[in-house]
């Protein structure tokens, strides 16, 4: 198994969720246990030497990679969700997606003051979601050490949006 095998498991879905967007579908990767395990192992290698105690991840596809990674690395898992999904008091942020606007929420006690965390997601596109999550973490008093993702859409230039963050990805498009 290698990174090219993983890349082959991600299919393009044109015009989803709207015309002009090429959606990176990870479900074929998830259907292959060896490929999925390898992707978690490789993400673990990307971040294992970073100084952090928690993994922050947005719903829903980010959870797929962040959960086993938090388990493997014995780190806290901190979910960031869509509005109304978290039962306790939350911080909230509104932000722009590549095809619209959205809102994210995080429990107010999810990240402690001065806690170092990383952000894990499946696909890094424009960097807008990651930037919004970083702002939520900072609002709580935490610090984002970096972001790691399965795939990065370099043609959308997410690193321009995330200039002040360490960014690592397994696959680049």
Buried b (16+ CB within 10 A) or exposed e, 53-92: bbbbbbeebbbbbbbbbbeebebebbbbbeeeebeeebbe
Domain of 159, CATH number, reads: 3.40.50.2020
In 3D space, the residue among 159, 157, 152, 154 whose CA is nearest the CA of residue 122 turns out to be 152
| 3 is a domain residue | no
Instruction: Look at residue 137 and give its three-state secondary structure.
Output: helix
Task: Specify the pLDDT at position 101.
Answer: 85
In 3D space, the residue among 115, 121, 124, 106 whose CA is nearest the CA of residue 69 turns out to be 121
| 8 is a domain residue | no
| Mean pLDDT for all residues in the chain | 96
Confidence of residue 85 (pLDDT cuts 50, 70, 90): very high
Strand partners, 23: 13
Q: DSSP states of 46-102 as a string?
A: HHTTS--SEEEEETTHHHHHHHHHHHHHT-EEEEEB-TT--SS-EEEEEEEETTEEE
Q: What is the pLDDT of residues 94-130, one digit of tens each?
A: 998 766 789 999 999 999 999 999 999 999 999 999 9
| 43 is a domain residue | no
Whether pLDDT at 67 is above 80? yes
The total number of structural domains that make up the chain? 1
Q: What is the pLDDT of residues 17-53, one digit of tens each?
A: 889 889 999 999 999 999 999 999 999 999 999 999 9
Is 153 within 8 Å of 125 (Cβ atoms)? yes
| 92 is a domain residue | yes
In 3D space, the residue among 47, 34, 48 whose CA is nearest the CA of residue 2 turns out to be 34
The pTM (predicted TM-score) of the whole model is 0.95
Dihedral, CA of residue 162, residue 94, residue 107 and residue 125, to nearest 10: -40
Distance CA 66, CA 75 (A): 10
| 40 is a domain residue | no
| 13 is a domain residue | no
| 16 is a domain residue | no
The range of the structural domain enclosing residue 85 comes to 50-172
């Amino acid at each position: 198994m290698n990174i090219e095998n993983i890349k082959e498991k991600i299919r393009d879905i044109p015009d989803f969720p709207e015309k002009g967007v090429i959606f990176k579908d990870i479900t074929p990767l998830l259907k292959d246990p060896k490929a999925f395990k390898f992707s978690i192992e490789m993400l673990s290698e990307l971040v294992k030497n970073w100084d952090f105690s928690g993994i922050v991840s947005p719903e829903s596809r980010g959870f797929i990679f962040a959960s086993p990674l938090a388990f493997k690395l014995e780190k806290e898992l901190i979910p960031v969700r869509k509005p109304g999904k978290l039962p306790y008091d939350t911080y909230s942020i509104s932000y722009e997606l590549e095809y619209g606007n959205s809102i994210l929420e995080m429990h107010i006690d999810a990240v402690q003051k001065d806690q170092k965390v990383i952000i894990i997601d499946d696909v890094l596109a424009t960097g807008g979601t990651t930037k919004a999550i970083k702002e939520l973490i900072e609002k709580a008093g935490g610090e984002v050490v970096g972001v790691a993702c399965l795939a990065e859409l370099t043609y959308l230039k997410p690193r321009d949006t995330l200039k002040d963050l360490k960014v690592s990805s397994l696959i680049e498009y």
